[in-house]
Structure 1
Amino acid sequence: MLPFEDVCAKHSPFSKWLFHPVKRRLARSYLKILQKYTDIKVIGITGSAGKTTTKEMVASILKLDGRTVCTPKNIDSVYSIPNTILATPPGTKYLILEMGVEYKGEMDFYFWMAKPDIGLITNIFPTHTQFLDNIEGVFREKSKLVLGLPGNGKAVLNSADAKLKSLSDKLTSEIIWFKPDINPITQNANAASALARALGVSEDKIKKGLSEYKKPVHRLQVINHVSGALILDDSYNSNPWAALSTLAYFNKLAKGDKIAVLGDMLELGTYDESAHREMGRSVAKSNFKTVIGVGKSSKFLIDEIKSHSKGTETFLFEKAEDATPIVRRSLKKGVSLLIKGSRSIGLDKIVDALP
């Protein structure tokens, strides 16, 4: 069911902006009451990649240990956090809030509404640099999640992330480190498990919760296609780190001829060209038979592949739909296909259009 202000917004686009400031204040006051008079634990999760998957894994585990409420998928944190807080009934043991940030000062706003007891940061990479300037800006904003924790709080951090490791001398809360992994899903599971252990959840519940977690479509989804081809569909979203990570994982899985459909990585600001060129150089080293770029910035990626991998066939399209015919006729036994790009590029349409 849509929130009240979204129903009203269908009739007046201004109603959402009218109701939300009130809703945020109500959410802030209500959560203060819950934290004062109940034993609710508030968990904040952020990071440059993997935060939604990690949040869903954490929820899958914690629901086995008590009533758990978490922010829904695919809704901007600005709207989902107050809605989720107000939907949290008394007696809830765990409240999980995904705190995605794109702008300077956004984490301060979340902390005004909700003060977590536990903070988890998956990683720090140059994402949303169009608004956060550079990796230092990303780090500065996202690290506020754990820098603002109370002295008896717990910070769950990636042990392989140099930026996050630099926080070890600055935090007053307990730090729990989780291990990285070449498989992003395994790394997210490591993060979720570390957080659950920090809350005293048993290993049996952790294993059961992870086994019951259902991976969303278009997120590192391995598909055994009817043609006999192997498809790694990671078309839900992309950023420089996620793209390189997915490429490394795909190279481990792939057998036979490798084909890639790679869409633009968005909101990179001044990093746009360099990030796409870096991705292109990495792809060029991976011995692909065919690479299809989709979007305006993918021209930089294709340029690098042409320069460094003469044997790779390349195509460049503005729209995802234009790439579908080539993908269809390329699928056969012995082919491995990688699909990765930012959500608004629409590469999921290619997957959905396959027989």
Structure 2
Amino acid sequence: MVNSARIELFGRDVAKLFLGAEDCSRGEGDKLDSIRFSGVSTDSRTAGEGELFFALVGDNFDGHDFVVDAVKRGAAGVVVEKSYKSKLSRELGEKGKGVPLIAVYDTLYALGELARFHRGRMKARVVGITGSNGKTTTKEITASIAETKFVTRKSEGNFNNLIGLPMMLLATKKEDEVIVLEMGMNVPGEMARLSEIAGPEIGVITNIGPVHLEGVGSIEGVIEEKGRLVESLPEDGTAVINGDCVYCRGLIDKIKSRVITFGIEGEADVTAVDVEDMGGDGIKAKFIIPSGAFHARLKIPGIHNIKNGLAAASVGVALGIPADDIKTGIEAIKPMKMRMEMIMTGDGVVILNDSYNANPVSMKAAISFLAGEARRKGGRLIVVLGDMLELGGYTIQGHEEVGMEAAKLGAGYLFALGNNAVDIARGAGERGMPPERIFTYPVGGHERLIEDLMGVIGPKDRVLVKGSRGMRMEIVVSGISSPAA
């Protein structure tokens, strides 16, 4: 997580943002007026000299417990929640003399307001990217395209929530011309708040599917939440919409900005023809944009990634980038760690490490890709799957469907890990996979799974490893991989 941002920030601006009449009368405003903060921090362990420390409250931590540590490390000011201020004033004592305690009702909201303030000072154009699948890949390709013409900054990793996104905005510099932000959501209201903070001029929806149902309750809830991004765009902004996604198309009438559609299944503003799946070498296609066409190779495996490339190309169109430069940006991209990452072992085994995250759509796409590789190049398909989290009422069905897909596409073995391993196994069994080729393990059963998996892997086998982030499926990848000879 991004927990520190170097930014020049005047205390008087902080006072205007956060201090009410009561605090000003107690002298906190006077303390702030003479301070120039060197940055913003949310982690006391890395808080730097002169920074403004935000005491955030999470499920497993409370930043107020570390305020004293932050001050010891040189924090020049601390943002705390009002209910903690008296207690912290006593704890700090002499150590806190001259260090303003800025009391707010909600420190997370305050962090967002500071980022929103900084966004208002920026001249850069902000691109916000959301969707049920492909956000990070689309963000990376988009940034690569933007970099051909503009000084570009992008979200690190997938820091796309109410902590990560504000910190990314606060890290922007005055020379930045385009900011590419990934925007995720787990609960109602989160996308609207992220849009309010980031103020994007270009908004992208890669696709919409049954993801985060635990937080929003239904696919209708997902549609509504994802739609908040494009509905927030200014009239002179641009919404980039997946024209192949029926849920995405349904949002178009609610959008007041310009709309660019992308897709390959019907009429779209940005499309591709002659799409060729090159297996581990990526995808080749003829990209067609309003100003012309070009042939390009996207070096990310998986035919489904053509749509992520089209989404990014659409942003290039919105930014006014010429076709040749869009092509250059697409071809500059390389596969990312733990996302359709092909690993060759010394004995010819190919591991598809797609362990960063998972949902039913991306699971099926990864299985389909590797099944095709096994057919073309020989070797068995072995599927190693972890739980897909946050599916709510779709949990059992979603896991069963993935098991069915593995069996339908000819998986020789299925290894399933987690609370829903039995559901994956049930689906595979119903589709005809022999029970002796199906193995299930409880949460945390990585070691036993690795041991059993190593007992069946043979030369030229294709092994998919995939699951939600919380399942830590990269442990399996580390356990079965070795450097190529």
TM-score by length of 2: 0.68
Residue 76 of structure 1 deviates from its aligned partner by 4.6
Residue in structure 1 matching 2:459, options 333, 342, 346 = 333
- Which secondary structure state, in structure 1, belongs to the residue aligned with residue 388 of structure 2? coil
Residue in structure 1 matching 2:63, options 1, 9, 14 = 14
Q: Which residue of 2 aligns with 1:178?
A: 262
User: In proportion to residue count, which structure has more helix?
Assistant: 1
Which amino acid in structure 2 is aligned with residue 281 of structure 1? M
CA deviation profile, 1:84-119 (whole Å, cap 9, x unmatched): 222212232111121101110011211221221110
For the 8 Å contact 1:227–1:331, the answer to whether it is kept is: no
Q: Which residue of 2 aligns with 1:241?
A: 361
Structure 1 residue runs of 5 or longer lacking an equivalent are none
Residue in structure 1 matching 2:414, options 278, 283, 291 = 291
For the 8 Å contact 2:127–2:201, the answer to whether it is kept is: yes
Give the whole-Å Cα distance in 2 for the aligned partners of 1:61 and 1:279.
34
Point out the structure with max Rg over C-alpha.
2
Give the whole-Å Cα distance in 2 for the aligned partners of 1:172 and 1:64.
29
Residue 310 of structure 1 deviates from its aligned partner by 4.0
Which amino acid in structure 2 is aligned with residue 100 of structure 1? G
CA deviation profile, 1:240-286 (whole Å, cap 9, x unmatched): 11111212222222233211101110011111111111112222211
CA deviation profile, 1:285-341 (whole Å, cap 9, x unmatched): 112111001111121110121232143610001122221122223333232111111
Q: Which residue of 2 aligns with 1:224?
A: 344
1:83 pairs with 2:209: no
Residue in structure 2 matching 1:203, options 319, 323, 326 = 323
TM-score by length of 1: 0.92
Residue in structure 2 matching 1:44, options 128, 134, 147 = 128
Of stretches 72-81 and 142-151 in structure 1, the one that deviates more from structure 2 is 72-81
Which amino acid in structure 1 is aligned with residue 473 of structure 2? L
Give the whole-Å Cα distance in 1 for the aligned partners of 2:117 and 2:3.
22
CA deviation profile, 1:109-165 (whole Å, cap 9, x unmatched): 112212211100110011111111011111100011111211221111112100011
Of stretches 95-104 and 68-77 in structure 1, the one that deviates more from structure 2 is 68-77
Q: Which residue of 2 aligns with 1:309?
A: 432
Residue in structure 1 matching 2:385, options 251, 256, 262 = 262
1:276 pairs with 2:325: no
Give the whole-Å Cα distance in 2 for the aligned partners of 1:92 and 1:80.
18
Against the structure 1 CA distance between its residues 8 and 306, is the aligned structure 2 distance closer, same or farther, given a 3 Å change threshold? same
For the 8 Å contact 1:320–1:345, the answer to whether it is kept is: no
CA deviation profile, 1:190-246 (whole Å, cap 9, x unmatched): 211111122111222222222222322111112222111222221111011111121
Give the whole-Å Cα distance in 1 for the aligned partners of 2:176 and 2:244.
33
Residue 31 of structure 1 deviates from its aligned partner by 1.2
Which amino acid in structure 2 is aligned with residue 210 of structure 1? I
Q: How does 1:15-34 map to 2 (within 5 A)?
A: 15=64, 18=80, 20-34=108-122
- Which secondary structure state, in structure 2, belongs to the residue aligned with residue 250 of structure 1? helix
- Which secondary structure state, in structure 1, belongs to the residue aligned with residue 422 of structure 2? helix
Against the structure 1 CA distance between its residues 76 and 44, is the aligned structure 2 distance closer, same or farther, given a 3 Å change threshold? closer
1:132 pairs with 2:252: no
Structure 2 residue runs of 5 or longer lacking an equivalent are 5-39, 48-54, 56-61, 67-78, 81-106, 265-274, 276-301
| Greater relative contact order (CA < 8 Å, ≥ 6 in sequence) | 1
Which amino acid in structure 1 is aligned with residue 389 of structure 2? L
Against the structure 1 CA distance between its residues 329 and 32, is the aligned structure 2 distance closer, same or farther, given a 3 Å change threshold? same
Against the structure 1 CA distance between its residues 153 and 130, is the aligned structure 2 distance closer, same or farther, given a 3 Å change threshold? same
Q: Which residue of 1 aligns with 2:271?
A: none
Q: How does 1:135-214 map to 2 (within 5 A)?
A: 135-179=219-263, 183-214=303-334
Give the whole-Å Cα distance in 2 for the aligned partners of 1:204 and 1:168.
29
Give the whole-Å Cα distance in 1 for the aligned partners of 2:108 and 2:251.
34
Residue 20 of structure 1 deviates from its aligned partner by 4.3
- Which secondary structure state, in structure 1, belongs to the residue aligned with residue 241 of structure 2? strand
- Which secondary structure state, in structure 2, belongs to the residue aligned with residue 151 of structure 1? coil
Against the structure 1 CA distance between its residues 310 and 247, is the aligned structure 2 distance closer, same or farther, given a 3 Å change threshold? closer
Q: How many residues were matched structurally?
A: 351
Of stretches 209-218 and 114-123 in structure 1, the one that deviates more from structure 2 is 209-218
Give the whole-Å Cα distance in 1 for the aligned partners of 2:433 and 2:366.
23
Give the whole-Å Cα distance in 1 for the aligned partners of 2:129 and 2:115.
18
Give the whole-Å Cα distance in 1 for the aligned partners of 2:315 and 2:429.
44
For the 8 Å contact 1:42–1:96, the answer to whether it is kept is: yes
For the 8 Å contact 2:357–2:467, the answer to whether it is kept is: yes
- Which secondary structure state, in structure 2, belongs to the residue aligned with residue 143 of structure 1? helix
Give the whole-Å Cα distance in 2 for the aligned partners of 1:56 and 1:245.
19
For the 8 Å contact 1:5–1:20, the answer to whether it is kept is: no
Which amino acid in structure 2 is aligned with residue 30 of structure 1? H
Q: Which residue of 2 aligns with 1:349?
A: 475
Q: Which residue of 1 aligns with 2:104?
A: none
Write out the 4+ residue segments of structure 1 that deviate beyond 6 Å after TM superposition.
9-12
Against the structure 1 CA distance between its residues 184 and 9, is the aligned structure 2 distance closer, same or farther, given a 3 Å change threshold? farther
Q: Which residue of 1 aligns with 2:268?
A: none
- Which secondary structure state, in structure 1, belongs to the residue aligned with residue 236 of structure 2? coil
